[in-house]
Amino acid sequence: MDTLEELKIKGFIEEEVDPTLDLFSEINRLKKEKNAVILAHYYQEPDIQDIADYIGDSLGLSQQAAKTNAAIIVFAGVHFMAETAKILSPEKKVLLPDLKAGCSLSDSCPPHLFAKFKEQYPDHMVITYVNCTAELKAMSDIVCTSSNAVQIVNSLPKDQPIIFGPDRNLGRYVAQKTGRDLVLWNGACMVHEIFSQQRIFKLKNQHPEAKFIAHPECEESVLTMADYIGSTTGLLKYTIENPAQEFIVATESGIIHQMEKANPKKVFIPAPPNNQCACNECPHMKRNTLEKLYLCLKNEIPEIILPDVVIKKAQKPIERMLEISAQLGL
């Protein structure tokens, strides 16, 4: 039978948080006391973004995880992101506020099936999108993110055959951008495939001056309507640099917090989903709360633990991505 501690780690028992606590000052106190850093993805709830030491997209977060001097990394994001931080800084304690914060895209590519898929293409190099398990990264030649996928593919010789996984939408977008014939794994993200082309079309008609911006994890039918396609950081930059006053945003709606902060006078409209009960919030990202962030800093659990052999094998393809990105100034 599991001990109380084990049940807590698994998330079966949630410790209660005193509702009168000022969580912002408690988290800041614990952070200093324990020499911890909080890294948060743009899809986290606004309070978590506001208390983080660094907010960014997957590439920025990996770069931060590789260079931090902190003893503890609290990763306010999903499991594969915290794993990436652990792989890059194995000597550090990496905490994830909710261990069940997974990813539908990562789940769509089970490592044992990918290993069989890969066997069919012995001459191919494997590029994997960072949204996958550590085990999958360990089977890859280079990792990429949505910020650098096109450049990473272009960094390989033109005649080099490539398998790209796990996201079929990003893969198809990269294939079009690079003119390469990539072998794609058939995976996708539940959040980025929820947008309705018809409802976006209607919204664009209602807001003719609005720019429609989309993440490359969206389906092709949505991307064809976009004025700009980019990673979360790319989308944010576009809203700052483009003079338009209205933007329809097709990605997880957490990014709108930073867009509004950077552009207080501009209007941001989340792209509509294809049914009435779904929304474009990632249920995995949103498992993290300020209370769980506080508890994980206080108790130093749940911790990301990975086998050494996986860490060693997965390090190379991630470091290769970071090297190429640094060379290209990304």
Q: How far is the CB of 206 from ligand 13P (least distance, A)?
A: 27
* Contact range with ligand SF4 by CB under 6 A, out of 13-21, 99-107, 119-127, 206-214: 99-107
Q: Does 139 bind ligand SF4 (CB under 6 A)?
A: no
- How far the first Cα of the chain sits from its last, in Å, is 49
Q: Judging by beta carbons within 10 Å of its beta carbon (0-12, 13-18, 19+), is residue 26 exposed, middle or buried?
A: middle
Angle between the N-to-C axes of helices 308-327 and 79-88, in degrees from 0 to 180, rounded to the nearest 10: 90
72 DSSP β-pair partners:
36, 93
From the list ligand 13P, ligand SF4, none, pick the one residue 104 interacts with, judged by a Cβ distance below 5 to 8 Å according to partner type.
Answer: ligand SF4
302-325 burial string, b = 16+ CB within 10 Å, else e? bbbebeeebbebbebbbbbbbebb
Of 30 and 152, which CB lies nearer to ligand 13P in the complex structure? 152
Residue 72: contacted member of ligand SF4, ligand 13P, none (CB under 5 to 8 Å, by partner type): none
What's the min distance (Å) between Cβ of 213 and ligand 13P? 12
What's the number of CA atoms in the CB half-sphere (13 Å) around residue 54? Answer: 21
Applying CB under 6 A, the span of 188-196, 235-243, 268-276, 302-310 interacting with ligand SF4 comes to 188-196
Q: Is the CB of residue 144 less than 8 Å from the CB of residue 154?
A: no
| Residues 242, 225: Cα–Cα separation, whole Å | 17
Among 45, 98, 217, 219, binds ligand 13P (CB under 6 A): 217
| Min dist. Cβ of residue 282 to ligand SF4 (A) | 3
Q: How far is the CB of 314 from ligand 13P (least distance, A)?
A: 18
Q: Which of 55, 103, 132, 184 binds ligand SF4 (CB under 6 A)?
A: 103
Nearer to ligand 13P by Cβ, of 21 and 240: the residue is 240
Question: Cβ of residue 108: shortest distance to ligand SF4, in angstroms?
Answer: 9
Report the site for ligand SF4 in 262-291 (rule: CB under 6 A). Answer: 282, 284-285
